[in-house]
């Protein structure tokens, strides 16, 4: 059997202040959007830009760091894995793509009191809960 890899690395700017929630099983989590942009010149010489939005989910002890120091507009470097889920509702099926963050580095902050720092989302011997656990009332 061949090996597989599910790893995402992003550098971007936080699009909203963190939303801190607790699952029905008592696990704390933080949700943040992250914007990444790319710029290019098209064939006619026009400057173009496209922004992609990513849904980040933080679990464990790093939630306290996110809650305290991460704010809208802050630049972040994150590493994590992609997780797909879906929910059934009145409007039909909704599909979600989340980045489950394993590591975060806060990049240069202007005017903030916190230093830039490197935070691991989970201890190596601890696994974060899945977003698709039946007792979760997520996504939100």
Average pLDDT over residues 17-44: 94
pTM over 0.85: no
Kindly indicate the confidence band of residue 2, based on its pLDDT and cuts at 50, 70 and 90.
Answer: confident
pLDDT digit string, tens, across residues 38-76: 999 999 999 999 999 999 999 988 899 999 999 999 999
CB 12 within 8 A of CB 75: yes
Domains and CATH numbers, the chain: 8-120 (2.40.50.140)
* Percentage of residues of the chain with pLDDT beyond 90: 65
Closest of 67, 33, 36 to residue 49, by C-alpha: 36
CB 11 within 8 A of CB 77: yes
The pLDDT of residue 59: 92
Q: Is the pLDDT of residue 3 over 80?
A: yes
């Amino acid at each position: 059997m061949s090996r597989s890899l599910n790893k995402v690395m992003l550098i971007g700017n936080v699009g909203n202040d963190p939303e801190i929630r607790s699952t029905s099983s008592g696990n704390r989590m933080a949700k943040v959007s992250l914007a990444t942009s790319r710029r290019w010149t098209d064939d006619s010489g026009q400057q173009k830009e496209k922004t992609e939005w990513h849904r980040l989910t933080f679990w464990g002890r790093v939630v306290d760091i996110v809650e305290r120091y991460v704010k809208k507009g802050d630049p972040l470097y994150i590493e994590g894995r992609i997780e797909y889920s879906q929910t059934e509702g009145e409007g039909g099926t909704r599909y979600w793509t989340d980045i489950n963050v394993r590591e975060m580095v806060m990049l240069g902050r202007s005017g903030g009191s916190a230093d830039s720092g490197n935070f691991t989302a989970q201890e190596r011997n601890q696994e974060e809960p899945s977003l698709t656990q039946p007792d979760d009332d997520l996504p939100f």
